[in-house]
């Protein structure tokens, strides 16, 4: 069984993170930093790192909202996202990646949902990852959070392979947003693969309690494709020097 536990890390104060490690002898030095969506680290989200562990990948989910007061933590996603900064999120992502390295991970991906998808795009463009995966990244073309960094403005720095999962019924990102991003990455020669899922909208990949957005068939297909992507770009490549 995978070792799944909570850890307390240091990033502008204490930051909790959910850590998942493959069973002894199963892992092979590759891992994933997972960035949660606007609702925070939900129980349903913890199924993905368990699935990754069974495929041999370590995973960590840092709490991007750890700077909040208890009152702020009770709010809905929009004001919580608006308070985030790319500068702070970048430190959190780097801290989470460093924790995986302490567990022997030397090849790493970044993956994110919704607002975490936008942060995964930014991290893939600017940090030391081997690949990135986006699930319906929110507000890629607009200013993100409190410091107003536009994720798309970092696209010219994106050199690593990128996988994207999008819902046909989504409004943000819309199918037009996906095409615009696809065209830009194609024009600059960034290797990428985007998938569009019929009958799926925003949040289709997470079976969160109390929300009706989950679509089990597209979700499972997207997760299987993601693991196959990691097998190609993390498992069967040499470790970075």
Domain membership of residue 206 as a residue range: 3-235
Please say if the pLDDT value at position 201 is more than 90. yes
Structural domains of the chain, count = 1
Q: Is residue 213 part of a domain?
A: yes
Confidence of residue 240 (pLDDT cuts 50, 70, 90): low
Alpha-carbon gap, residue 49 to 57, rounded angstroms: 8
pTM of the entire structure? 0.96
Please say if the pLDDT value at position 239 is more than 70. no
Q: Is residue 108 part of a domain?
A: yes
Q: Is residue 26 part of a domain?
A: yes
Predicted confidence (pLDDT) per residue in 29-72, tens digit: 999 999 999 999 999 999 999 999 999 999 999 999 999 999 99
CATH number of domain containing 128 = 3.40.50.1820
Segment 191-196 shows an average pLDDT of: 98
Segment 11-20 shows an average pLDDT of: 97
* Mean pLDDT score of the chain: 95
Predicted confidence (pLDDT) per residue in 93-125, tens digit: 999 999 999 999 999 999 999 999 999 999 999
């Amino acid at each position: 069984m995978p070792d799944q536990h909570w850890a307390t890390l240091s990033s502008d104060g204490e930051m909790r993170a959910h850590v998942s490690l493959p069973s002894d002898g199963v892992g092979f030095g590759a891992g994933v930093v997972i960035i949660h969506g606007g609702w925070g680290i939900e129980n349903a989200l913890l199924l993905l790192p368990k699935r990754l562990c069974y495929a041999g990948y370590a995973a960590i989910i840092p709490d991007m909202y750890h700077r909040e007061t208890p009152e702020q933590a009770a709010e809905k996603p929009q004001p919580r996202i608006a308070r985030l900064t790319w500068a702070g999120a970048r430190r959190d992502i780097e801290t989470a990646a460093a924790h995986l390295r302490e567990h022997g991970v030397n090849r790493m991906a970044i993956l994110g949902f919704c607002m975490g998808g936008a942060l995964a795009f930014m991290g893939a463009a600017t940090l030391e990852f081997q690949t990135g995966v986006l699930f319906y990244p929110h507000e890629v073309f607009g200013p993100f959070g409190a410091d107003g960094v536009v994720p798309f403005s970092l696209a010219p720095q994106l050199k690593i392979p990128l996988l994207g999962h999008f819902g046909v019924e989504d409004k943000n990102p819309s199918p037009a947003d996906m095409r615009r991003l696809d065209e830009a990455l194609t024009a600059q020669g960034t290797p990428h693969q985007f998938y569009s899922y019929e009958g799926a909208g925003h949040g289709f990949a997470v079976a969160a309690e109390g929300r009706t957005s989950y679509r089990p068939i597209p979700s499972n297909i997207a997760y299987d494709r993601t693991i196959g992507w990691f097998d190609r770009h993390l498992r069967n490549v040499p470790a970075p020097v």
